[in-house]
Chains A and B, each alone.
Chain A
């Protein structure tokens, strides 16, 4: 049963680009997959380890700039550049993580937001390297051998394939003992410490992983659209990622996936309202948080629960 379901989904994935026909929807799916990689990173950090970050766009930017500059200035193949794009922000996050993650709550939120803003300033002001406001242009597509991922369709397979891989690995991570340690840290650091979890090390590691995932997302983004500028890597991006995760559901990876898709498609669905999606997005967060802290996933779970219970009731009546 489950194996046939997986096979069916695989088939749907393979033929989906053919069915869609339009490149614009395909392109949106590419962006959704890129966002998903980032939101999953944030989900691990915030949803599972309980550490907020409003600075993800900074790491996203580092990934994008590192891979782009390696390719355009030094001719490094993008496939290798992506590895550097993952390592650079992860390394930075690892360095700053230990002192920063000692802070909690509001302070951590503000300090990570500050980190993101500082990184944004670096992208703007270090003009000699980053091109300042005009950014980096002419970024080559990812290529393996002589095959270049330069169409929406090929990028669809690459990015969604990668996103699924990340989703799978993240799933393995949260189901492992490490995942349990993450959740314990989220619930109570004192409790985590008392059972021998090295809390500050764990927080720093998860922070580095989430920064690395953001970096990969940045590189995928850069090589897909071929041009980057600082305005993609602003605090707004960080806030939207976090709100997307909250809308989808903080407590599960599926929530992150749903949030990433909404984050990508909502502006498109609401394009008649121009930029109004921000209002819808903000309102969604407020409404969801007041009725169900676990976002869309929480609501679906709750509905499923009542439905199941009602079914059981009917069953009971029948047996009586």
Chain B
């Protein structure tokens, strides 16, 4: 394999890796605020792709408006998921939460199927134009959009959590909910916001990737698994590790396509997840604290 091919795989790996990282961050946001793993996380990504496709393709909205509206609308869905389902069983067991978010997932997926049918939807890349050639590698413009937006959003989230008052309040909840509550932080509000943010992140991931891969009503769960894998690979509960995990997963998938038919690539990523969790449940980057965390989950 020469340098051009290597670059090609690196870029396609980073592109999907950025998507997984965004989904993984979405998991982390909600998990940090509530200890809930939202099994409907992938449906936010699917909704993002489908809503944007409809707004652009059928309603002929300008792209920026369609994208912003999509992200806002899915954010609202996130709030509804919290309000209508998850917050009702906040004190429930882990299994109750798994079931209820699976129920939400099935509902959203069915609604999408009834609304747009089983066929894949898509819209044109953000900017038209022929693919770039960089050192012999062919790079789709949309891939650059994915990587670039992903990087900007992740950096923005980092700033949000370290600099803004709201972000720091959310972080305080993540570290110790009771202490945060005693400090006068409105924990309920933080939880709601984390659902909205998480859904919006998912929608953004869906919007970014749809021009490259299409959007279908049933793609959500696989994406959720990959996003979870991204978070778990790095070690749960830390945003930075979701990014590392996501990119690693993307690169592994891209590399797997070299040695086996592309149909297997989902399996390769999941096999890596299973092996890592079985060998080291705290994730590759996790220390002892996370290990305890995993066992308690």
Neighbouring B residues of A121 by C-beta, 8 Å: 263-264, 266-267
Choose, from A5-13, A143-151, A271-279, the stretch at the interface. A271-279
Compute how far the CA of A77 lies from the CA of B211 in the bound complex, rounded to whole angstroms.
Answer: 50
- Are A293 and B274 in contact (CB-based, < 8 A)? no
Q: Kindly identify which residue among B103, B114, B221, B278 contacts A113, using a CB–CB cutoff of 8 Å.
A: B221
Contact between A106 and B267, CB atoms less than 8 A apart:
no
Secondary structure of the B contact surface, majority rule: helix
Task: Indicate if B232 sits at the interface (CB-CB under 8 A).
Answer: yes
Between B84, B92, B109, the greatest number of chain A beta carbons within 10 A of the residue's beta carbon is seen for B109
Residues of chain A lying within 8 A (CB to CB) of residue B84: 286
Is A282 in contact with B98, judged by CB distance below 8 angstroms?
no
B111:A125 contact, CB within 8 angstroms: no
- A282-B104 in contact (CB<8A): yes
Taking the complex as formed, is B105 at the interface, i.e. its CB lies under 8 A from any CB of chain A? yes
Bound Cα distance A275, B106 (Å): 11
Question: Mostly helix, strand, loop or mixed at chain A's interface?
Answer: helix
Cross-chain contact B106 with A239 (CB below 8 angstroms)? yes
Q: Give the contacting residue for A107; candidates B85, B104, B277; CB below 8 A.
A: B277
Does residue B271 face the partner (Cβ distance < 8 Å to A)?
yes
- Inside 8 A of B221's CB, which chain A residues have their CB? 113, 235-236, 239
1/0 per residue, CB under 8 A from A, across B21-32: the answer is 000000000000
Task: Using A110-B228, A111-B274, A114-B270 as known contacts, say yes or no to A282 and B107 having CB atoms under 8 A apart.
Answer: yes
Q: C-beta contact mask, B202-230 vs A, less than 8 Å → 1, else 0?
A: 00000000000000001001100100110
- Could you tell me the distance in whole angstroms from the C-beta of A264 to the nearest C-beta in chain B? 16
Cα distance A47–B134 when bound, in Å?
56
B281 touches A117 (CB 8 A): no
In the complex, whether B183 has a CB less than 8 A from a CB of chain A is: no
CB distance B277 to A103 under 8 Å?
A: yes
User: Which residues of the other chain, B, contact A109 by a CB distance below 8 angstroms?
Assistant: 39, 98
30 inter-chain pairs at a CB distance below 8 angstroms, sorted by A residue, are A52-B95, A52-B98, A102-B278, A102-B281, A103-B278, A104-B297, A105-B94, A107-B281, A107-B294, A109-B98, A111-B273, A111-B274, A113-B221, A113-B225, A114-B270, A117-B222, A117-B266, A236-B221, A242-B99, A278-B107, A279-B106, A279-B111, A282-B104, A285-B102, A286-B85, A286-B107, A289-B96, A289-B99, A290-B88, A290-B100
* Per-residue B-contact encoding for A111-132, CB less than 8 Å = 1, 0 else: 1011101100110110000000
Q: Which one, A52, A102, A124, A279, contacts B107 given CB within 8 A? A: A279
**Smallest distance from the beta carbon of B177 to chain A beta carbons, Å?**
18
Residue A265 at the chain B interface, CB threshold 8 Å: no
Cα–Cα distance between A274 and B117 once the two chains are bound (Å): 11
Q: Contact between A114 and B110 (Cβ–Cβ < 8 Å)?
A: no
* Complex-state Cα separation, A237 to B238, whole angstroms: 32
- B179 at interface (Cβ–Cβ under 8 A)? no
Chain A nearest CB from B20 CB (Å) reads 14
Q: Smallest CB–CB gap between A110 and chain B, Å? A: 5
Is B170 among interface residues, defined by CB-CB distance under 8 A? no
Is there contact, CB below 8 Å, between A99 and B99? no
